[in-house]
Structure 1
Amino acid sequence: MAAATDRGRVALTFRQLEAFHAIMTSGSASRAAELLQVSQPAVSRALADLEQEVGFALFDRVRGRLVPTPEGQMFFTDVGANFAGLDRLRAAAARIRDFGSGTIRVASLAALGSTLVPRAIRRFRDAHPGIAITLHIASSAIVRDLVVSGQFDIGLAADEVDRFGVDHRAFGSFRAVCALPPGHELARRKVIEAKDLHGRPFVALAPEDRARARMNRAFEDAGVRPDIVVETPNSATVCALALEGVGIGLVNPMATDGFAERGLVFRPFEPAIDFKALLLFRPDTQRAILVKAFTAALLRARFRPTN
């Protein structure tokens, strides 16, 4: 069978390949017509055109049945691979239609990035298992820069961060707790007050942290001066140092997971001092369906951390 081509090139159409693929997968032209929702003559015509183009018979006609030729079987291997690729493209298109993207990139400050955000990711993936997620832990300033530059879709940062150039909303306010070394004499008390920390070794947050500034005001109002022995930007590091007996610290409760099990003692602190966090978005992403869905998972993770 001679191929009707220009200089040996085969001019195939999607309709021809679709008809061939449907016949091979369904077993007959009539069932292929049902799958494609076209008439059987239309399928037969597309098949005849395809055989004309490729230059060899794809089927033998045996007592009214279409039996694939060896060449037809070989050709179907490549056609089937391409249709599998089309199925992946359809799935990708559906994800983009429903969620705006097949990936989401999240940057978070450390206090939330090792506890609350993983819980949110688990919730999100339960509902959207096909979405790839990137999680990056950094300082609040770097989180803000990653969002502003467009490298990340969502950021979680402390409230001292520069908000220029980003959409933002309040995420949460978490009341500080006092972290005490195992066996510390203050652990007998139900509540630790500012005056209890006067002169005691104290592990403080970094000076630029707004929670640190609120702690300083509380100490000044009480006429208290703790003995600051270490400064660090992360509540989890404060916990680790307190566990080693280096000093007492005031920490974000969202960063305390696992430390009580290792012997660290936590007590409420008076007066109340809050760690405040913001959600940051690029101005062009906050309304994306995928971003909304992940934001909802983050908000739920604040209140029901074990579910």
Structure 2
Amino acid sequence: MNLRQVEVFRAVVTHGTTARAAEILNISQPAVSKMLQALEHSIGFPLFHRIKGRLTPTAEGQLFFREVEHAFAGLVNLRGAAARIRDYGSGEMRIASLSAFSNNLMPSALASFMAKHPNIAITFQTRMSSVVRDLVSCGQFDLGVVADEIDKTGVECRPFVELRAALAMPEGHPLARLDVVRPADLDGYPFIALSPEDTARQHAEAAFDRAGVKVRTVLETPYTMTICAMVATGMGVGLVDPLTAKMFMGRGLELRPFEPALHFRTMIILPPHRPPSRNVEAFIEELEAAAAVAV
């Protein structure tokens, strides 16, 4: 079986006769018949009922045609991708990011990039850092932004944004009277924590241990945005990055500096053994420019 035989089969089913298929494909009618016979011999079952010179697809032929249509749809997509690559370089870009930047840095960087590169098709997904790492390491995505606790094997890493943690609290909370919050100040207050694997949480727990404080954790989440949302409802207090917390300021949440200094560190990751395209490098520039303004 070869692609030309399959193309002939598709043309006969689509147009109804070998004569019309031959005309469309610009070959002779005997050539059409010969290729159909060769295809049937190759796959091992008849594709058509031949009754009084007319061809009607068999049940198996109809099933095979369905699969052929799927395959040709893929070829159409390949032609489109080739055209985009020819005209615009890499015609698409796939980006994944941790959620902390999905409502601030990413929209700003994407808007700026797309204004300069309107013909690049972009796929953007927000995932946990470990999932982003897996998507990039296997080459499904071209670029990822992750927290620094990920397994760094199998990806190329570049340092990105470092944000000092602040304590988020409901508006009017007793801790809002303090200029700086320290571990001992959290004693007795309900605490909303990041996931245990988060390095910022690990450093926070080390600070609590040094101060002899055992915080009362009421909820765990991998997302600082979720911490902010929960804090704004009055559920408790939590350590967050101030960039994510900005959108909650004035909406039930206050921030205070936290001592000792703790940091959220992030990285840009790229697939291994594959130089980034010009478009990926251009987007990284936009991302870094957005971070320089926001941080």
- 1:200 alignment counterpart: 189
2:159 aligned partner, one-letter code: A
Distance in 2 (alpha carbons) for counterparts of 1:257 and 1:130: 32
Distance 2:83 2:218 in 1: 59
Matches within 5 A, 1:78-157: 93-96=86-89, 101-157=90-146
Mapping for residues 122-271 of structure 1, pairs under 5 Å? 122-271=111-260
What is the CA RMSD across the aligned residues, in angstroms? Answer: 2.4
Secondary structure of 2:188's aligned partner: coil
Question: What amino acid does structure 1 have at the position aligned with 2:294?
Answer: P
Percent identity over the alignment?
42
State the alpha-carbon separation in 2 of the partners of residues 233 and 9 from structure 1: 58
CA deviations 1:163-196 (Å, max 9, x no partner) are 1111111112111011011210111222212221
TM-score, with normalisation over the residues of structure 1?
0.67
CA contact (8 A) 1:115 1:254 kept: yes
Map Cα deviations across residues 84-136 of structure 1 (whole Å, 9 max, x no partner): xxxx987752311xxxx111111111112222111111121122122111111
> In 2, distance between residues paired with 1:219 and 1:200?
13
Higher-Rg member (1/2): 1
Checking the alignment, whether the CA contact within 8 Å between 2:243 and 2:294 is kept in structure 1 is no
Counterparts of 1:145 and 1:220, CA distance in 2:
33
Query: TM-score of the superposition, structure 2-length normalised?
Result: 0.70
CA contact (8 A) 1:143 1:157 kept: yes
Question: 1:287 and 1:90, CA in 2 relative to 1: closer, same or farther beyond 3 A?
Answer: closer
Distance in 1 (CA, whole Å) between partners of 2:111 and 2:207 is 37
Question: Secondary structure at 2:258's aligned position in 1?
Answer: strand
The C-alpha deviation readout for 1:173-230, integer Å capped at 9, x for no partner, is: 1110110112101112222122211121110111111111011011111222211111
- Aligned partners of 2:273, 2:88: CA distance in 1, in Å? 19
Partner of 2:262: 273
**1:223–1:10: structure 2 CA closer, same or farther, 3 Å change rule?**
closer
Residue 285 of structure 1 and its aligned partner are, at CA, apart by 4.0
Aligned residues: 221
Match of 2:271 in 1: 282
The runs of 4+ residues in structure 1 deviating greater than 3 Å are 7-11, 88-92, 284-287
1:219 partner SS: helix
Unaligned runs of 5+ in 1: 1-6, 12-87
Give the alignment of 1:36-47 within 5 angstroms: none
> Does structure 1 conserve the Cα–Cα contact (< 8 Å) formed by 2:170 and 2:233?
yes
In 2, Cα distance between equivalents of 1:110 and 1:195:
30
